[in-house]
Chain A
Amino acid sequence: MAPLLIGTGIWGLVTGVAMVKVGLSAAQAIAMTLLVFSGTVQLASLPLIAADAPLWVVMLTAVVVNLRFVIFSAGLHPFFRSFSIARRWLLSYFMVDMSFAMFLSRFAEAPRDERGTTEQVWFFLGMSAGSWMAWQTMSIIGIVLAAEVPAHWGLEFIAVLALIAITLPMIAGKPALVGAVTTGVIAVVAAGLPLKLGLLVAVVAGIAAAMSAEIMLERRARNTGGTS
Chain B
Amino acid sequence: MSNLEIWLVIIGLTLVTILMRSSFLMLGDYFPLPERVQHGLRYAPVCALIALVTPELFLTQGAFNLSVENPKLVAGLAAAVITLTTRSMIAAMATGMLIFTVMRLLSAAA
Binding site for B on A (CB under 8 A): 2-4, 6-7, 23-25, 28, 31-32, 35-38, 41-42, 45, 49, 52, 55, 58-59, 62-63, 66-78, 80-81, 85, 88-89, 91-93, 95, 97, 100-101, 104-105, 108, 154, 157-158, 160-171, 175-176, 179-180, 183-188, 191-192, 198-199, 202-203, 206-208, 210-211
Contacts and interface: CB of A to CB of B under 8 A. Distances in A.
A160 B13 contact: no
Interface of B: 1, 3, 5-14, 16-18, 20-26, 28-29, 33, 36-59, 62, 64, 72, 75-76, 79-80, 83-84, 87, 89-90, 92-93, 96-97, 100-101, 104
A73 B17 CA distance: 12
Contact of B62 (A32, A183, A192): A192
Contacts of A58: 9, 12-13
Given A77-B28, A157-B100, A69 B48 contact: no
A76 B33 CA distance: 12
Nearest to A1: B89
A179 B43 contact: yes
Main secondary structure of the interface of A (DSSP, over half): helix
